[in-house]
Amino acid sequence: MNKKRVLIGMTAAALSLSMLAGCGKEETEETQQTYTVNLSQSSMITKATDITLKRDGMILSDLTGEWIDESFENKRPIAIMINNLKPAMPQAGIGQADIVYEMLVEGGITRLMAIFTDYSNLDKIGPVRSARHYYDRKAMEYDAIYCHVGQSIFAEADFSAYPDLDNLNGLYAVGNVMYYRTSDRKAPHNCYTSSEGIDKGIEFEGYSTEKKASYEKMFQFNSEVQDIGGTPANKITTAFNSGRKPWFEYNAEDGKYYRFQYDAPQIDELTGEQLCFENIIIQFAGHAPLEADLIDISLIGEDEGYYISNGQVIPIRWRKSSENSVTHFYNIDGTDLKMNPGKTWITIFPNNQKADIIIE
Q: pLDDT by residue (tens digit) across 324-336? A: 999 999 999 999 9
**Mean pLDDT value across residues 165-170:** 98
**CATH assignment of the domain containing 198:** 3.50.90.10
pLDDT of residue 54: 85
Let me know whether 9 and 92 are in one domain. no
pLDDT of residue 135: 98
Let me know whether 254 and 330 are in one domain. yes
Residue 228 has pLDDT above 50, yes or no: yes
**Mean pLDDT value across residues 355-360:** 98
331 phi/psi in degrees, rounded to 5 = -70, 165
87 phi/psi in degrees, rounded to 5 = -65, -10
Let me know whether 199 and 225 are in one domain. no
**Residue 34 sits in which domain range?**
2-56
**Mean pLDDT value across residues 259-267:** 98
Nearest to 135, CA basis, from 116, 154, 109:
154
Let me know whether 224 and 354 are in one domain. yes
Residue 18 has pLDDT above 50, yes or no: no
Residues contacting residue 85 through CB under 8 Å, at least 6 positions apart: 109, 189
Query: Do β-strands 276-277 and 295-297 pair in parallel, antiparallel, or remain unpaired?
Result: unpaired
pLDDT of residue 226: 96
d(CA 353, CA 237): 13
Q: Which amino acid makes up residue 340?
A: N
Residue 51 has pLDDT above 80, yes or no: no
pLDDT of residue 52: 59
Q: Which of 205, 237, 266 is the last residue before a domain boundary?
A: 205
**Mean pLDDT value across residues 187-215:** 97
Q: pLDDT by residue (tens digit) across 104-118? A: 999 999 999 999 999
Do residues 180 and 197 make contact, with C-beta atoms less than 8 angstroms apart?
yes
**Mean pLDDT value across residues 203-213:** 97
Let me know whether 85 and 167 are in one domain. yes
Do residues 178 and 201 make contact, with C-beta atoms less than 8 angstroms apart?
yes
Let me know whether 201 and 232 are in one domain. no
Let me know whether 245 and 131 are in one domain. no
Residue 17 has pLDDT above 90, yes or no: no
Helices (H), the chain: 133-141, 153-161, 175-178, 195-205
Tally of domains in the chain:
3
Q: Does the bond joining 163 to the residue before it have cis omega, within 30 degrees of 0?
A: no
- Number of alpha carbons in the 13 Å side-chain half-sphere of residue 45: 19
Report the DSSP beta bridge partners of residue 319.
302, 328
Q: What are the CA-CA distances from residue 229 to residues 184, 277, 298 (Å)?
A: 47, 19, 29
pLDDT of residue 96: 98
- Residue 194 within any structural domain of the chain: yes
- Residue 17 within any structural domain of the chain: yes
Q: Which of 176, 205, 234 is the last residue before a domain boundary?
A: 205
Residues contacting residue 230 through CB under 8 Å, at least 6 positions apart: 307, 308, 312, 313, 314
d(CA 11, CA 14): 8
Do residues 240 and 356 make contact, with C-beta atoms less than 8 angstroms apart?
yes
Let me know whether 225 and 147 are in one domain. no
**Mean pLDDT value across residues 259-279:** 98
Residue 303 has pLDDT above 70, yes or no: yes
